[in-house]
Amino acid sequence: MPKYSNIVMTGGISAFNSSNVFYQYFAEFIENKSSYAGQNLEKVLEEICKEKGLTDKELERLVKERPNQISAEFSMLKGLKEKDLLDDIINISVIHSDTPDGIMAALINKKVIELVFKDSTVSLEKVEDVDISNEVKLQRSLGYFMKIVANELLKGTKETTFFAPIGGYKYMAYLGYVAGALFGYSSGYMYEKGQKLLTIPPIPIEINFDLITKNKNFIRNLLTEGQLNYQSLSPDEKEIVDTMPYFFEKVEIDGQEIVSANAFAEFIFGDYISTAVKVSPEVSDLISKNEQYRNFILNQLMGLIKKANSFFKDYRNYQGLRGELMHNENWGIDRPYLYKGSSNGNKLVFRCAYDFDYKSRILYIYKIWLNHDKYEREAEAIKNGKITIDMDKNKMFELEY
């Protein structure tokens, strides 16, 4: 079993539970947390640590004496370490709310984790406007949260990424799972008492891409304009909004129903509407003759667009995608790139030969395989020079939806 090197967690405020070690040191802060809004909490943390004598040496002593009374986030990492599931060098993302106690708990976790796990790097990702009393702000924050989750997960491979939606509001676990599952990432939880690891595999999620592609102009207008009147939409456009609530916000303002795309929709569809897809005659023929697989293929291409844009824009931070986007390297093939998409044993899979022009935002699809055995036979043949892929871009044309 591969070891985990990319840990993505939702962070809560368990560090301040009365049964945990930090409660006594931060009781005054917790009691007056609202008064700290807008302050530099990193500086506040330094001042509290100095006042209470929480030096690095003292923190290490507390962790050693009471390791199960630090925080849920720390317990998760400790459990993975004890199960020998952590790599030697780990990157940890803690996604937390922008409330004073949410920020402070995340800062404490970062300090303790980097102190105890010597070869770890902790990055804190803040979700703004987490206000359950304000529907407009909350809906906006939900999409932004899902965007952050997906963005952090895509920095590591599926095999070496552990996603733990363990802290924060309850919706974070649900929406976090959806964001991860859309890209094929599992989520996990470590039961603290028995230190038993529970892994939840991703349920396959398919967007109704036929409906999306037929209304591409609507998506583009919504992302450009920011918001539209719900009543002015066509029946197909209303269907998109009503059946895909994880992408859209619909609120009533001054008696009018207003629709806007949330941050997760912008994350998913921003690259989609700005990227042209050009296919070979062979690929066009495959799609037209396999109507039952049309939506599956379109979903896979959407995932490829998102991953390719992320990787080719910032490959250093997205090395975890290299194995999927450049599966040709596994075969010893230089070009074309081979994309390893969805896998389902020897049943329906998605593999394709492609190229991507990031500057021009054009995705070229030379060939698609939906059968794993056929893909392996032909990849081996390409490697040995027995067959070639026609990469003449002049023969390709934009995919008609």
What is the rounded distance in angstroms from the CA atom of residue 179 to the CA atom of residue 149? Answer: 7
Q: What percent of the chain has pLDDT over 90?
A: 52
Domains and CATH numbers, the chain: 4-200 (3.40.50.10770), 209-272 (1.10.10), 275-398 (no CATH)
User: What's the average model confidence in pLDDT over 283-298?
Assistant: 89
- H-run or E-run covering 136: helix 135-153
Strand 362-371 and strand 276-279: pairing?
A: parallel
320 vs 389: which has the higher pLDDT:
389
pLDDT digits (tens, 9 = 90+) for 100-118: 999 999 999 999 999 999 8
Per-residue model confidence (pLDDT) at position 129: 64
Under DSSP, the state recorded for 328 is H
Q: Give 176's contacts (C-beta < 8 A, 6+ positions apart).
A: 10, 95, 145, 146, 149, 163, 165, 187
- H-run or E-run covering 264: helix 263-274
What is the rounded distance in angstroms from the CA atom of residue 188 to the CA atom of residue 325? Answer: 25
Q: Which of 280, 293, 387 is nearest to 331 (CA)?
A: 387
Which tokens in the block code for residue 333?
């093939």
Per-residue model confidence (pLDDT) at position 44: 95
Per-residue model confidence (pLDDT) at position 195: 59
Tell me the pLDDT of the chain averaged across its residues.
87
For tokens 């929480």, name the residue. Answer: 54
Per-residue model confidence (pLDDT) at position 286: 93
Q: Give 349's contacts (C-beta < 8 A, 6+ positions apart).
A: 341, 342, 343, 369, 370, 371, 372, 375
For tokens 């300090």, name the residue. Answer: 111
Report helix, strand or coil for 336: coil
Give the lowest-confidence range in 26-30, 139-143, 220-224, 361-365.
139-143
pLDDT digits (tens, 9 = 90+) for 274-290: 899 999 999 999 998 88
Per-residue model confidence (pLDDT) at position 54: 93
End-to-end CA distance of the chain: 41
pLDDT digits (tens, 9 = 90+) for 8-52: 998 889 999 999 999 999 999 999 999 998 899 999 999 999 999
What is the rounded distance in angstroms from the CA atom of residue 199 to the CA atom of residue 211? Answer: 33
Q: What is the dihedral of CA 142, 147, 152, 153, to 10 degrees?
A: 90
CA 169 to chain centroid: 18
pLDDT digits (tens, 9 = 90+) for 172-217: 677 788 888 888 888 887 665 555 677 788 877 778 877 888 888 8
Q: Give 163's contacts (C-beta < 8 A, 6+ positions apart).
A: 8, 9, 149, 153, 176, 180, 185, 186, 187, 188
Residue 401 has pLDDT above 60, yes or no: no
